[in-house]
């Protein structure tokens, strides 16, 4: 087996870079503190948040529940107000905006929710029409726009149905159509796929990616699932205890996590673990006839080199593949491989040297007899 995947398999993916456009949302040292109730101490939900969302970008904020991500996303449409720092949206300082100013802003900011929040008393079409009614659009215009939107999300045939008659994925499509009705420039996604099964999640993320690319919509999403970040985000911020502990391009953060929280989130997504039957036999020291278990991490550029066959041909060593996973993050190949090579020296050193000379991360996890 060679190194992960040839770049051709990813098509033009490598050309898709992080958007370099001017920021559409900028948090500058933003904080949010809730006043204490009846003698209790004040609660700080967010502290010193610096975050920039480029126009047309997809930025994901990941954190556990209670980390402050819900508060963070709600600052962007004024459902929560910052108590410190400055927040700029579309070049407007919104820090001191009043409620009526926020209402105008919200009509240019779409939002979708974990539990969809559709009106049970309205049909699909009337749910999508709601923001247009709120904005005072004419009946004729509403009808035209609703038809357009339902076609966009692939629900033309459900216009007259009620939400209770739809599946979760269909409900979220209605949510997306509703959020896009007033042609917003920003879409906020509040755990938008957390109530959906993995397959439906994939479909909804594909739809979000489509509206991001086709409509140039900027997406800010919050999630507790690294899978979502991996599938759609081009930038990521990891939030814990109300502060951002790590942020950067999705590929860099996901392939070289610096913070333990990030690493923990990544375990389920990109981590490769030794199969149980081997893990039990793993020991620190080599023994006669044992194999050294080496973890090789492929990232971006070097992921295309035919590494394993080269080990065989250059140092003449037999390589045993134990486990592996090859993935795409932010449209770039990334993979991890666990291989077994004879434990004796100098073979192990030669293998590590060869791998490192290809700029691959390689580390010996232990030895199995």
**Minimal distance in Å, beta carbon 135 to other proteins?**
7
Q: Closest CB to other proteins among 143 and 259?
A: 143
**Minimal distance in Å, beta carbon 128 to other proteins?**
11
- Three-state secondary structure along the chain? CCCCCCHHHHHHHHHCCCCCCCEEEEEEEEEEEECCCCCCCCEEEEEEEEEEEECCCEEEEECCCCCCHHHHHHHCCCCCCCCEEEEEECCEECCCCCHHHHHHHHCCEEEEECCCCCCCCCCHHHHHHHHHHHCCCCHHHHHHHHHHHHHHCCCHHHCCCCHHHCCHHHHHHHHHHHHHCCCCCEEEEECCCCCCCHHHHHHHHHHHHHHHHHHCCEEEEEECCHHHHHHHCCEEEEEECCEEEEEEEHHHHHHCCCCHHHHHHHHCCCCCCCCHHHHCCCECCCCCCCEEEEEEEEEHHHHHCCHHHHHHHHHCCCCEEEEEEEEEECCEEEEEEEEEEECCCCHHHHHHHHHHHCCCEEEEEEEEC
Q: Closest CB to other proteins among 55 and 122?
A: 122
**Minimal distance in Å, beta carbon 279 to other proteins?**
44
Q: Closest CB to other proteins among 30 and 111?
A: 111
Q: Closest CB to other proteins among 70 and 290?
A: 70
Q: Closest CB to other proteins among 73 and 337?
A: 73
**Minimal distance in Å, beta carbon 157 to other proteins?**
12
Q: Closest CB to other proteins among 20 and 100?
A: 100
**Minimal distance in Å, beta carbon 23 to other proteins?**
22
Residues that bind other proteins (CB under 8 A): 77, 79, 103-107, 109, 111, 113, 115, 117-122, 130-131, 133-135, 161-167, 178, 182, 188
**Minimal distance in Å, beta carbon 350 to other proteins?**
60
């Amino acid at each position: 087996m060679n190194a992960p995947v040839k770049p051709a398999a990813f098509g033009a993916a490598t050309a898709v870079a992080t958007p370099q456009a001017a920021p559409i949302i900028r948090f500058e040292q933003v904080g949010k503190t809730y006043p204490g109730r009846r003698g209790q101490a004040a609660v700080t939900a967010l502290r010193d948040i610096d975050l920039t969302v480029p126009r047309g970008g997809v930025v994901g904020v990941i954190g556990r529940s209670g980390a402050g991500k819900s508060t963070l996303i709600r600052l962007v449409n004024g459902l929560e107000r910052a108590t410190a720092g400055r927040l700029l949206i579309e070049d407007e300082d919104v820090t001191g905006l009043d409620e009526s100013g926020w209402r105008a802003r919200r009509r240019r900011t779409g939002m979708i929710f974990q539990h969809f929040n559709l009106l049970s008393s309205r049909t699909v079409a009337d749910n999508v029409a709601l923001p247009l009614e709120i904005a005072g659009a004419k009946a004729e215009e509403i009808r035209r726009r609703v038809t357009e939107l339902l076609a966009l999300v692939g629900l033309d045939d459900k216009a007259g149905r009620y939400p209770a008659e739809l599946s979760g994925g269909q409900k979220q499509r209605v949510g997306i159509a509703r959020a896009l009705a007033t042609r917003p420039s920003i879409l906020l996604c509040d755990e938008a796929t957390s109530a959906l099964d993995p397959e439906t999640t994939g479909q909804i993320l594909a739809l979000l990616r489509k509206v991001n690319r086709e409509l140039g919509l900027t997406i800010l999403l919050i999630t507790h699932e690294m899978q979502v970040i991996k599938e759609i985000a081009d930038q990521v911020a990891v939030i814990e205890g109300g502060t951002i502990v790590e942020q950067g391009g999705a590929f860099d953060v996901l392939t070289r996590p610096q913070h333990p929280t990030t690493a923990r989130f990544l375990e389920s997504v990109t981590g490769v673990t030794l199969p149980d039957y081997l893990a039990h036999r793993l020991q620190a020291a080599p023994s006669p006839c044992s194999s050294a278990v080496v973890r090789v991490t492929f990232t971006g550029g070097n992921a295309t080199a035919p590494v394993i066959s080269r080990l065989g041909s250059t140092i003449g060593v037999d390589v045993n593949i134990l486990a592996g996973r090859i993935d795409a993050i932010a449209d770039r190949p990334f993979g991890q491989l666990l291989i077994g090579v004879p434990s004796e020296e100098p073979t192990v050193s030669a293998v590590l040297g060869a791998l490192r000379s290809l700029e691959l991360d390689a580390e010996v996890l232990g030895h199995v007899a």
